[in-house]
A = this chain, B = another copy of it.
Amino acid sequence: MGKLRFDISMSLDGFIAGPNMTPGKGLGENGDLLHQWVFRLASWRAPHGESGGETDDVDEQVFKESTQDVGAIVMGRHMFGGGEGPWGSDEAWGDWEGWWGDEPPFHNPVFVLTHHPREQLVKGATTFTFVTGGVESALEQAQAAADGRDVSIGGGANVVQQYLAAGLVDEFQVHVAPVLLGEGVRLFEGLGPDDVKLECTRAIHSPAVTHLKYRVVK
């Protein structure tokens, strides 16, 4: 079986999104500052339908690694979007089908954690399956779909925290952007030294970002 892991961009002060997320602004205010390093990479641009970009720096290598060997993705309701309550009931979000348009970049089965049932949604090469049975059920389904490859946690913070607290994460990488946000959504919250034991296995940086890779010690 593959690993359970995540790769998330974080500010030096620990935020993975700015405050005030809206349908037009999925990363919150100033949240785009966390992702400047990735927007300029060829391997990010291609699956997002944009040409050009860096093909030959350390960030490109790290980003490629982060998508390699991934066979399925789990994410939370807010990562997918769609507001609160039963699907379609939140007027601001309407009949929401994700942030990513008709051809989402995942190209892998995606399992969305939610308290509210919804039929499977197919967008291009990505299938979204909505799971109401909790994090372990979503992981089991994702592992079956990944067929031996890794399962990646797409976010958000709350889902990452649940998988860490349950002792299910094998490794992760935080891409630390050289910026302070001051407010927003924190990656790590409610987890103490007895919940998670870590070992740093790699630290590399470019002028744009610092990549810190950790193994969870079981």
A185 interfacial contact with B, CB 8 Å: no
A74 CB to nearest chain B CB (Å) = 21
**Interface size, A (range):** 35 or more
The 8 Å CB contact of A205, one of B176, B188, B202, is B202
Pair A192/B183 contact, Cβ less than 8 Å: yes
Count identical subunits in the complex: 2
Pair B14/A193 contact, Cβ less than 8 Å: no
Residue numbers in B under 8 Å from A196 (CB-CB): 180
Residue numbers in B under 8 Å from A174 (CB-CB): 12
A85 interfacial contact with B, CB 8 Å: no
A133 interfacial contact with B, CB 8 Å: no
A195 interfacial contact with B, CB 8 Å: yes
Pair B193/A33 contact, Cβ less than 8 Å: yes
A179 interfacial contact with B, CB 8 Å: yes
A198 CB to nearest chain B CB (Å) = 4
Pair A192/B180 contact, Cβ less than 8 Å: yes
A135 interfacial contact with B, CB 8 Å: no
Whether A200 touches B195, Cβ cut-off 8 Å, given contacts A180-B188, A212-B176, is no
A214 interfacial contact with B, CB 8 Å: yes
Q: Name the residue of chain B whose CB is nearest to the CB of A208.
A: B200
- A residues 123-164 near B (Cβ < 8 Å) are none
Pair B178/A182 contact, Cβ less than 8 Å: no
A17 CB to nearest chain B CB (Å) = 13
- A-B pairs, top 10 by smallest CB distance, nearest first, are A13-B188, A182-B192, A203-B205, A178-B198, A14-B14, A203-B203, A180-B191, A203-B210, A200-B205, A200-B210
Binding site for B on A (CB under 8 A): 12-14, 30, 33, 174, 176, 178-183, 186-193, 195-196, 198-200, 202-205, 207, 209-212, 214
13 intermolecular pairs with C-beta atoms under 8 Å apart: A12-B174, A12-B188, A12-B198, A13-B188, A13-B189, A14-B14, A180-B188, A182-B191, A182-B195, A203-B203, A203-B211, A205-B212, A210-B212
